[in-house]
Structure formats: C-alpha cells, structure tokens
Amino acid sequence: MADEFFLRSLGLIVMAGAFFSVAAGWIRMPTIVAYMLAGLLIGPLTGLVEISHALELISEIGIALLLFIVGLELSLNKVRDVGKVAVVAGIAQVVFTAVIGYGLCVLLGFNWMESAFLATALTFSSTVVVVKLLDEKHEMDTLYGRIAVGIFLVQDLIAIVMLTFLAGLGTGSVDASTAATSMVKAFAGVAALLVLVLGAARWLLPGPFAWAARSPETNVIWSLSWCFLIVLAAELFGLSLEIGAFLAGLSLAQLPYNNDLRRRVHPLMNFFIAVFFVSLGVKMELSAAFAHSGAVLLLSLFVIIGNPVIFIWVILRMGYGERTSFFTAVTVAQISEFSFILVAVGVRAGLIAPSILSITALVGLVTITVSSYMILYNAPLYRLVKASGLLRLFGPPSVEEPPHTSQQATGHFIVVGVNSLGRELVHLLRARGERVLAIDTDPQKLSGLECDLLLGDAGDPNVLAEANLAGARLLVSALTIEETNDLLAYRCRAAGIPCAVNVMDLSATENLLAMDVCFMLVPKVDGVSAQDAELRKMGVIAP
C-alpha cells in the first residue's frame, strides 16, 4: 500500500506539474510558478496529495541536481570575466537588502531568527528563472545580460557561504560557544572539500573525463556519479548535500566539457526540480501564509521595487548608462530557488517554524511572476519609466549608450562533424579569413583547430541555439549520419539559413532536396569524376 500511495502521489505531482507548465506557456509564466500553483491545487486546496518520506527524498535529489547545475556554471574563467561591476553590485545588493529586510521583518513582528531567515531569503535572485527568460529573448550575451549573470554567480557563492553557516548551526542549538565551534568546523570542512575537488579538477578528472566525453551517455553517468560521491564526502565532513552537490559541479566546471555536460544533465534536473517545486506548493500552509498577507505584500513590494532601486543606484555609479542599469536591475526583482532551499534547511534544522517557508513560498510566487513579465517587457517598461522622469532621481547618467547588442557570433560558418572532410573545410575557410565554428561530440577531434569550438550534439536544438544558427552565413555538415543530416537540413530551412550536406548514399538526396538544401557534397560521385579526369589526362582513357 505504501508503494501504491507513493506512486499515486508521484503520478499526481507529475501530471499536475505537466498540465500547469503547458498552461503557463500560453501566458509566458515561469514554470517554477506553474509548479508551485500545481502543488497548491493538489495539496492545500484539494488534499489529493500528502508529502511522504519518499517524495521528500526525490525533492532532495532535485535540490542536489539544481546546485550541481549552478556549480557547473561557475568556471573560474567566468568568475574572472564578470568584472568589477558584478562583484560590487552583487555584494552591495546582498548587504543592503539583508540589512533593510531584517529591519522590515522585525517591524512586521517576526522574531530575530525568523527575521534573519526571511531577510536572507530576500537577498538572492533566481538564476534559473532569469537565465531561462534571457535565453528565450536571445539576450544572454548583451551587456546587461552578462552583468546580470555575473551578479547571480556572486550571489550563488554568498548563498553557499550561508548554507555553510547553517550547517554550522547544527540542529538549532543557540549556545554561543557550541554554535561557534560548529561553524568553524563547517567552514573548515568546506575549505578542505573545496581544495579536494579543485585539486581533482586540476590533476585527476581531465584524463578520465576526456575519455568519457567521447560517449555522451558515459559522460553523464560519470558526472552524476562524481556528484553523488562528493555529496557523500560532504556528509563525512558534516556538511549538507547542497554544499556537496555545488562543489561537485564547481569542480567539473573547470573542465572544457562543462557546457555539453550541463545541457545533458538539464532534462534530468528538470524532472526532479518539478517534483521539488510542486512538493513545495503541497507543503504550503495557506492559513499561515494568509495570516501574514500584509507581510507577504510588503516583502514582495520590497523585492520588486527595493532591489532594482539598489542596483540602479550602484550600477549607475560604476560608470554604466541608464539603459544597462535599468535592464540589469529589472532582472533581480524576484527571490531565488536558493531562498526556498535556505529556508527549508532552517525548517529541517528546527531553527524556524514551517510557516516561514509558506510565507517565503508566497513571496516567491508573487515576485517571480511579476518580475518575469518585467523582464519580458523590459524595453517598453524602460521607456515608460524614463518618460516619467523617475530615473532622474538617481542623478544624471555617466554615459550615453547605444542600444544593447549581443556578442554572439554572426555571419559565421558552422561546420558540423570534424572528420577529415570537416577538418579540411575548417582550414580552407579559415585560410579565406572567415569566422568558423566547429561542432563535434568528440573533444579530441576538436583539439588543435584554430577556430571557435563547441562540444555537443548538433542534433540538439540547444547546441544550435548556442552556435547562433539564426545568425550564421552557412552550415556545412560533414557528417555521414543520414538522420542527423536530415534534421540539420530541416532546422536550417526553418531558420532560413543555407546549408551544405555531405551525402554518402545517393538515396538520401531526395529528402535533402525536399528540404531545400543548397549544396550537396557527394564524395563517391566527385571521387569518380576526379579519377576519370586524371585517367583521361594520363591517356589511360580516351578523351
């Protein structure tokens, strides 16, 4: 019966999440909000689902995979490239929001521990929501998009410090000396584990993962195994699974295969994250949240208005213009998945009541929903705010900016498949001075090429999006895989981009012609023609 109850509950969670996510797509609502609304429907509103220990375990796996993905984003090169503005703005916002938020929570009647958790929850912005929306708008590589992502990386690092701090508090003991000792042990454990994983990334992991990267399935299995191995190591150090998963991702982020790995793990993470957020909605105590409806409204307004005000003020003073400052500020007007995780950890540790998690979840629903539409319509919103004169309250802009543009490659050639033909095509195009992006699933085939490189399966639409297919001059497939060539031809036609395809079997030409392929490379026919011409030149065959 327990298994039947678990499967029934899990089935309802998945079906509700799927239905609400499809419905949310029609009104461009973030899937995280849709999942939480689904949980509210099948949980507090109807009582169809109750959270069991098995469902809690699946939710924890979702948290681990989410933190693993966040860690995969954090390559040290990317940290060096985020620049001064991301570090200064990120730290300034966390400090201002935490201090002001704490004072606001105290005034609203929460005790000091509840105020500390709520204020901390208000400081972090959602990497998952914002990156997804920026990607949909093709604005990840704009100036404001790069600054926003840098700020999120800074916030993520601070969130991990906070998780370490919570790990040090243990099970809720407020004895000062005991808590201090526990925190010292926790930070020492994080430092030791960080040295371990970065040392492994430098000397242990490159060789095995270079071999595993040849097979996408093997690479994913090895990566997940590494993730859960470090989670177990974190447990031995007395740390939380969230810290272990993050550090596992951080170590793999230093390898050259992290982008491909992130794309492949993402669908698996999406399933577990759906269960986590639907379960979060199921666990919400609506009576407790609505009993504090005034506090929820004030805290939501503080995040939606207060956080952008802080960022506009800071970024303007870092030498950026009004447009960049405003667009960046709009991206942070919500609380984060980290907010839910931190508060959930506090509830598990017995430091705060479950009602605080419900309040945080309701603030998350409001802020994520409102800020999503602010991001989607940031251009008209900017024009409206600028026309109202509100931006003048921050002082005159330090610079005048042209409209933001993406730094993604445009006008480039995409070569798919670095076999002997693909490698020769890359060399010929580079010799002509063209910008070339080579795509292959084998990192060894890409090594040594003097052009832009992208590890991944070109049949994956996310890979083609990262390659900016829509901005390319031509895609050339040197592959001999007929199904993939058909798919590439179809996607090039849909994007309005000409393509050339390597044809090994003449029977495949019919499909390719039907999909408006501009050029077909036919080695067998071309080889026979070249051989015939050479034999005629030698006089072996009569002219």
Mind listing the pLDDT tens digit for each residue in 490-521? Answer: 888 888 889 988 887 666 677 777 777 788 87
Same domain, yes or no, for 274 and 164?
yes
Q: Residue range 441-467: average pLDDT?
A: 82
Position 406 in a domain: no
DSSP-assigned letter for residue 26: H
Query: Any idea of the CA torsion for 457, 458, 461, 463, to the nearest 10 degrees?
Result: 70
Q: Which of 366, 394, 422 is the last residue of a domain?
A: 394
Give the other-Cβ count within 10 Å of 319's Cβ.
12
Q: 5 and 41 in contact (C-beta within 8 Å)?
A: no
Do the domain assignments include residue 326?
yes
Question: What is the C-alpha R_g of the chain?
Answer: 26
Q: How far apart are CA 477 and CA 132, in angstroms?
A: 29
Quote the pLDDT of residue 204.
87
**pLDDT tens track for 59-102:** 777 777 777 877 776 665 655 555 677 778 888 888 888 899 99
Instruction: Count, in order, helices (H) and strands (E) of the chain.
Output: 26, 6
Domain stops at, among 367, 394, 421: 394
The predicted-structure confidence for 430-439, as pLDDT tens digits, reads as follows 999 889 999 9
Q: 183 pLDDT band (50/70/90 cuts)? A: low
401, part of any domain: no
Structural domain of 336: 2-394
Q: Are residues 387 and 243 in the same domain?
A: yes
- Establish if 408 belongs to a structural domain: no
Q: Is the dihedral of CA 16, 19, 140, 213 positive or negative?
A: positive
Both 425 and 323 in a single domain?
A: no
Does residue 404 lie in a domain region?
no
Identify residue 321 by its one-letter amino acid code: G
Return the structure tokens found at 427.
């060399």
Residue 414 is predicted with a pLDDT of 92
Compute the distance between CA of residue 397 and CA of residue 321 in angstroms, rounded to an integer: 6
**pLDDT at position 81, please?**
52
Q: Count Cβ atoms within 10 A of the Cβ of residue 18 and give its class: 0-12 exposed, 13-18 middle, 19 or more buried.
A: middle
Q: pTM to 2 decimals?
A: 0.69
Check residues 52 and 221 and name the one with the higher pLDDT.
221
Same domain for 452 and 364, yes or no, is no
Q: Are 133 and 375 in contact (CB under 8 A)?
A: yes
Same-domain status, 335 and 432: no
Nearest by Cα to 462 from 329, 228, 263, 235:
263
Do 344 and 463 belong together in one domain?
Answer: no
Whether residues 369 and 486 share a domain: the answer is no
Say whether pLDDT at 168 is over 70: no
Q: Assess whether 44 and 138 both reside in one domain.
A: yes
Task: Give the pLDDT score at 415.
Answer: 92
CATH number at residue 434: 3.40.50.720
Write down which residue in 394, 428, 462 finishes a domain.
394
Mean pLDDT of 116-127: 86
Instruction: Render pLDDT for 264-313 as a digit per residue (tens, 0 to 9).
Output: 777 777 787 788 788 878 877 777 677 788 888 999 999 999 888 888 88
> Distance (Å, rounded) from C-alpha 334 to C-alpha 125?
6
Asked if 308 and 385 sit in the same domain, the reply is yes
The CATH number given to whatever domain includes residue 92 is: 1.20.1530.20
Write the pLDDT tens digit of every residue in 378-429. Answer: 889 988 988 888 877 776 655 555 555 455 567 889 999 888 888 988 999 9
pLDDT of 135 strictly over 70: no
In a domain, 218, yes or no: yes
Is 403 within the bounds of a domain? no
Phi-psi bin for 310: left (phi > 0), alpha (psi -120 to 50), beta?
A: alpha
Q: Which of 203, 239, 208 is nearest to 226 (CA)?
A: 208
- The count of structural domains within the chain is 2
In a domain, 400, yes or no: no
Could you tell me the strand order of the sheet in which 474-477 lies? 452-455, 436-440, 413-416, 474-477, 499-502, 519-521
Residues 434 and 480 grouped into a single domain = yes
Q: Are residues 361 and 432 in the same domain?
A: no
| 445 & 312 share domain | no
